[in-house]
Chains A and B, each alone.
Chain A
């Protein structure tokens, strides 16, 4: 069954703690993305990666870190430096290249709440 999985679905964190959100895809997609969504708002790009061992900052990267050690995996760490981390986090992936269908797909999301 192909797709994008995110875990956990819900995550509760105490202030001052780092947490890591998992994102895995078995679609053989080149690029992976992390977005943040606040209630009633649109999607904001945190980080993205187009190839293994390389990634770029998005619009709101401060307080977050990522790694891309495998093509299938793109974990996001929310650090204690992120001032307001309570939000809905969405992972996405798509293939790249000219002349191919570059359709982007999303995982089911992780809801992070800071207590």
Chain B
């Protein structure tokens, strides 16, 4: 089945810093999503981005489907950005999740 790898596994930032999270996938996809899991466990939809670039405030994402990777950019990080970021792609009839990137933003 399709494999999804995220990097880095862990990231510590000072408030105000920028960061880039990466998601590599092993096969062509027509659905890729980025989620943020907050400290209470809720999974928040960030981007639905099978290809191209999208921006939402301080966050933006780019998926290069032909090269099988996606990037999530966080600019001017805030402590509320802390949590786990998951990338997921459709494999068969279901989403296949990466292991996640744990982000800690320090004030």
Contact = CB atoms under 8 A, between A and B. Distances in A.
A binds B: yes
A109 B41 contact: yes
B98 A31 contact: no
B23 to A, nearest CB: 13
A111 B88 CA distance: 23
A42 B99 contact: yes
Contacts of A101: 48
Interface string A31-64: 1010001000011010010100000101000000
B88 A88 contact: no
B86 interface: yes
Of the candidates B43, B88, B98, B99, the one having the most CB atoms from chain A within 10 angstroms of its own CB is B43
A45 B48 CA distance: 20
Task: Identify whether the interface residues of B are mostly helix, strand, loop, or mixed.
Answer: strand
B42 A109 contact: yes
A78 to B, nearest CB: 17
Contacts of B90: 102
B43 A42 contact: no
Contacts of A111: 41
A50 B92 CA distance: 12
A31 B93 contact: yes
A108 interface: yes
A51 B71 CA distance: 33
Of the candidates B41, B99, B100, the one having the most CB atoms from chain A within 10 angstroms of its own CB is B41
B43 A90 contact: yes
A109 B100 CA distance: 18
Interface in B40-85: 41-43, 45, 48
Interface string A73-115: 0000000000000001010100000000111111011010000
Given A103-B48, A106-B42, A33 B94 contact: yes
11 contacts: A33-B95, A37-B41, A42-B86, A42-B98, A42-B100, A43-B97, A58-B94, A92-B43, A92-B95, A102-B90, A104-B88
Given A31-B93, A103-B45, A106-B45, 10 more contacts: A33-B95, A43-B86, A56-B93, A102-B31, A102-B90, A104-B33, A104-B88, A106-B43, A109-B41, A111-B41
